[in-house]
Amino acid sequence: MKKKQAIKKLQLLQLVQPDNVTLRAIHKTVLSEIPVQEQFSIREWLSISPVIQLVAFGAVVIFLSVLTRFMPDAFEKALVYSKIAAASNQYEKAKIAFAYVNDQFSSMKNNSFDSSKMESVSQALTLANTQMSGLKLVGEKGKYTSQQCLELYEAYHTDLKNMDRLISSKASQSAQKGILASEVEKYDQQSEKKLHNYKKQL
């Protein structure tokens, strides 16, 4: 239907004053007859000019630079989670999480037990405990040995004890410190029990 015909129909509508149902039906018909312009996909849009590709790449680089500068903790956390997801076995996942919680704990000590740093340690500790809990102390054939696993778990248990002592020695009575202290104590007890049960089986 050409535009003139569509206009003529609309003019006739003013004379006859149809009800709402008829108006909606005519409106649908008119819209269906108007050709729709083709839309570009993102890939087609980027292929128009190398300059556009360069600008898009530059925008991504700037975004990542801003993210790493102003939100380093969030960026580091995302990186750790992606490394854990890509790790080939549970031992590697646990090692990554263990290194991450140690980094966060060191950062907290260097910042005089700042509350935001305590929150970061708490989150890292939960991640580490989850990954350590999934570790089979007898090892997995072709993936990691029981000796590797035992050494890592013992290091984790020792670090939990050190964390517990250091947190308890701080005079701060903040709610965040209390939460962190109870988490460390709980995970320490869990790791001690798991190691004890494993050594009984040797």
What's the rounded Cα separation, in Å, for the pair 99 and 107?
12
> Rounded to whole angstroms, how far apart are CA atoms 117 and 180?
11
Are 109 and 175 in the same domain? Answer: yes
Residues 128-156 have pLDDT tens digits of 999 998 888 888 888 888 888 889 999 99
Count the helices and strands in the chain (H runs, E runs): 9, 0
**More confident site: 116 or 46:** 116
Do 57 and 99 fall within a single domain? no
Give the residue from 70, 93, 124 where a domain finishes: 70
Tell whether 65 and 78 lie within a shared domain: no
Residue 18 pLDDT: 59
Task: Give the chain's domain count.
Answer: 3
- Provide the 8-state DSSP code for 88: S
Residues spanned by the domain of 8: 3-33
Q: Flag whether pLDDT at 108 surpasses 60.
A: yes
SS3 per-residue string spanning 114-153: CHHHHHHHHHHHHHHHHHHHCCCCCCECCCECHHHHHHHH
Kindly state the tokens that stand for 105. Answer: 């704990």
Same domain as 88, residue 55: no
User: Does residue 128 sit in the same domain as residue 189?
Assistant: yes
Domain boundary among 50, 70, 90: 70
Supply the pTM of this predicted model: 0.62
Same domain, yes or no, for 28 and 7? yes
Is residue 165 pLDDT above 60, yes or no?
Answer: yes
Q: What is the pLDDT of residues 70-85, one digit of tens each?
A: 455 677 788 889 999 9
Cα 94 to Cα 76: distance, rounded to the nearest angstrom: 17
Residues 61 and 112 in one domain: no
